[in-house]
Amino acid sequence: MSVGLVIVTHGETGATLIGEAEFILGEKLEAVQFVAFEHSEGHQKEIFRIHESIESAQTGDGVLVLTDLMGASPSNRVAVLLEHFDAVMVTGVNLAMLLCVWANRDMPLGQLTRKAAECGRRSVKIFQE
């Protein structure tokens, strides 16, 4: 088994990340659940959709939820659900983080969580002429 993966982002950002990861890897990330946060939906409906995705992603090894922006609506909605699951949230999802998590999803949840944050940070660099 492996850790379940859920991405919750503003709009279709997560779907784009998944699509690009699939292109790079040459395989489908079928096991990754995605929830597009839409501002037009009600608070309860958003929480219900996220809850369903986390529940669906459960494999017995925990669930890692990747969100885009700490303190924004998607991560706030996820935060209220974490206590109901064996799940952890990492904010600041980027393509490097997603690729790293996918490649290492057989790690235990705690270790994978730290790996996700590390890969995300490592991918941020400043280049200047």
Please state at what angle helix 109-122 crosses helix 95-103, rounded to 10 degrees: 150
| Domain region containing 49 | 4-122
pLDDT score of 111? 98
pLDDT score of 123? 95
pLDDT score of 39? 73
The CA-CA-CA angle for residues 58, 93, 12, to 5°, reads 85
Residue 49 maps to which CATH number?
A: 3.40.50.510
Residue 72 lies in a domain: yes
Question: What is the number of structural domains in the chain?
Answer: 1
| Token pair listed for 32 | 């990754």
- With a CB cutoff of 8 Å and minimum separation 6, the contacts of 12 are 36
| Alpha-carbon gap, residue 66 to 97, rounded angstroms | 9
Residue 35 lies in a domain: yes
The dihedral of CA 99, 105, 111, 112: what is its sign? positive
Residue 89 lies in a domain: yes
The pLDDT averaged over each successive group of 10 residues in the chain (129 residues) is: 94 96 96 88 85 95 96 93 95 97 96 98 93
- With a CB cutoff of 8 Å and minimum separation 6, the contacts of 68 are 8, 9, 10, 13, 14, 74, 75, 91, 92, 93
| Alpha-carbon gap, residue 40 to 125, rounded angstroms | 35
